[in-house]
Structure 1
Amino acid sequence: MFLDKYKKEKEFLVCVDSDGCAMDTMEIKHRECFAPEMIKTWELFEKEDYILNIWYDLNLYTQTRGINRFKGLVETFKIISKEGIEIEDLDSIVKWVETTKELSNNSLKREIEKTDSKCLKMAHSWSVNVNKSIETLPQDDEPFENVKSGLEGIAKVADVAVVSSANGEALDSEWNRHDLVKYLKVLLGQEAGTKQYCIGELKKQGYDCDKILMVGDAPGDLQAAKKNGVKFYPILVNKEGYSWDKLLNEAVPKLINNTFDKTYQEQLIKEFNNTLK
């Protein structure tokens, strides 16, 4: 499913993140794939526990939760570099992450062709190995409680789009495996562009800003919503089932009835920020 094939059907649009928001896949992917592959690729075994804890904090438990994989890599390397752990040619990946319009393997390959950077080559190898590692995970992942009923109910009153920074193939596999694609208008992964970009492109289909809701579990989802002037609903860490029930039975009705006002939005954001201190 691609942006250029998208056609608006309903008056309202609900965008939904995947990992850690709809799918209970975030913890296992970081602990079994992203972090171990980073340690192996850069041979960081000597300070492994220290570096792993930094990765988990950045990617799971603080205000950078849900950050793109390459941004997470750069932020981790910046921190450990200050502690004397040298990452060769770090400036190359920092520059690419800060300037590229597309944080994906394909974009990284194009940059490698231009620069022949060793660090970029290692980052690409790491990312490819992460994807392979994710593919070998036991296929016992599940959507969070109330996700299926929530999507079913929301799809009756709004167009639903998955807007995620995860790898597209993994998304396609997970959402099809759990028979959730039938509720979607489009499934957008990292290859489609940033969340901010994707929401902006969907908005061009003719939705009013006050009729678009971004559902996510990370500050990046909130920022993507803010940048596009649309509403945000948080899925709270360790309260996912509760959050999805509230989304279906409180937040979406408020959206439809035009009572999702500034006070309600601020209340949701405050509760969200308090979970990620």
Structure 2
Amino acid sequence: MKKEHDYLICIDSDGCAMDTMNSKHFYCFGPEWVKQYGLEDIQEEALKYWNQINLYSKTRGINRFKGLAMGLEWAKEKGYETEGQEEFVAWTKEAPELSNPALLAQCQKKKNPCMEQALLWSIHVNLAVKEPGMEQGVFYGVREALEKMSPKADLAVVSSANAQAVEEEWSKYELKPYCKALLSQEAGNKAECIQKLSALGYPPEQILMVGDAMGDYEAAKKNGVWFYPIVVNNEKESWQQLQEEAYPKLLHGTFDRGYQKELLDKFERGFQKTL
């Protein structure tokens, strides 16, 4: 990616631009977790917990392996512990990269049933996501916002999804041409991706991270850049506000701490409504 404009806007994919997050967790991530780890006896309770941490709380949008680690810790408390679980959980906290290739490399170093199951789970999730009927499309207002912002800002996808999924979805819905780069889990975590992009020469006050999860906010905060939330269950209104209000404020230098707090308060209320 080469810097062409003075402004940089980073955009998350699942649950932010792509209306795919709910269906992926309802029909792929959660059910495959239940099957892979033998949680059928507590399936209803397990799926409810899975959706809570991945969709309806401040851990929304968490990396899949970190989410799996949380799920396995919850299952352990219910009496369902997997051999090698402690080592897997530690890996999700310490590894510089959390992806299928990184986990495969770890599995090849030492036998660990939990890690092997985690890799199989992740592969099965990727296959399930491609099943007919899984596609949901793009949130209303995304294309219009990208069209408005791209002439004066460099746009980049910064996602924790896998590279293949990001490439396929942004290409299919013809959004890729608006972006200078598509960064996924293989490129590092979101904070690292923002850091790499900002190093191209954008002042922090001219960088905006657009996302639907607290992890997106934390990544922006770590880099000292602005954050714009896509509020859960209010995606259409959020994209409209980005295009009509937040983006102009960024260009005019009036996207300040007061406005940031106003956006964060609205973001917090969105999660409270889903509980």
Q: Please tell me whether the aligned partners of residues 58 and 65 of structure 1 are also in contact (alpha carbons under 8 angstroms).
A: yes
SS across alignment from 2:6: coil
SS across alignment from 2:109: helix
Q: Which residue of 2 aligns with 1:35?
A: 30
Residue deviations 1:87-146 (CA, integer Å, cap 9, x gap): 222102111101100010111011112221111011001001111111224364211010
One-letter identity of the residue aligned with 1:55: W
SS across alignment from 1:115: coil
Q: Report the Cα offset of residue 83 of structure 1.
A: 2.5
**Could you tell me how far apart the structure 2 residues matched to 1:237 and 1:137 are?**
25
SS across alignment from 2:55: helix
Q: Which residue of 1 aligns with 2:262?
A: 267
Q: Which residue of 2 aligns with 1:190?
A: 185
Q: Which residue of 2 aligns with 1:181?
A: 176
Stretch of structure 1 that moved more, 133-142 or 216-225: 133-142
| Structure 1 unaligned residues grouped into runs of 5+ | 1-5
**Could you tell me how far apart the structure 2 residues matched to 1:61 and 1:73 are?**
16
**Could you tell me how far apart the structure 1 residues matched to 2:114 and 2:180 are?**
38
Determine which of 150, 153, 157 is the counterpart of 1:158. 153
Q: Which residue of 2 aligns with 1:201?
A: 196
- How many residue pairs get matched? 272
SS across alignment from 2:241: helix
Determine which of 62, 67, 75 is the counterpart of 1:72. 67
One-letter identity of the residue aligned with 2:225: V
| Structure 2 unaligned residues grouped into runs of 5+ | none
Q: Which residue of 2 aligns with 1:84?
A: 79
SS across alignment from 1:114: coil
**Could you tell me how far apart the structure 2 residues matched to 1:167 and 1:140 are?**
16
Determine which of 89, 96, 120 is the counterpart of 1:94. 89
Stretch of structure 1 that moved more, 203-212 or 129-138: 129-138
Determine which of 111, 114, 129 is the counterpart of 2:106. 111
One-letter identity of the residue aligned with 1:262: R
Q: Does 1:18 align with 2:13?
A: yes
One-letter identity of the residue aligned with 2:267: F
Q: Please tell me whether the aligned partners of residues 135 and 170 of structure 1 are also in contact (alpha carbons under 8 angstroms).
A: no
TM-score of the superposition, structure 2-length normalised? 0.97
TM-score of the superposition, structure 1-length normalised? 0.96
Aligned-residue RMSD, C-alpha? 1.0
Q: Report the Cα offset of residue 20 of structure 1.
A: 0.5
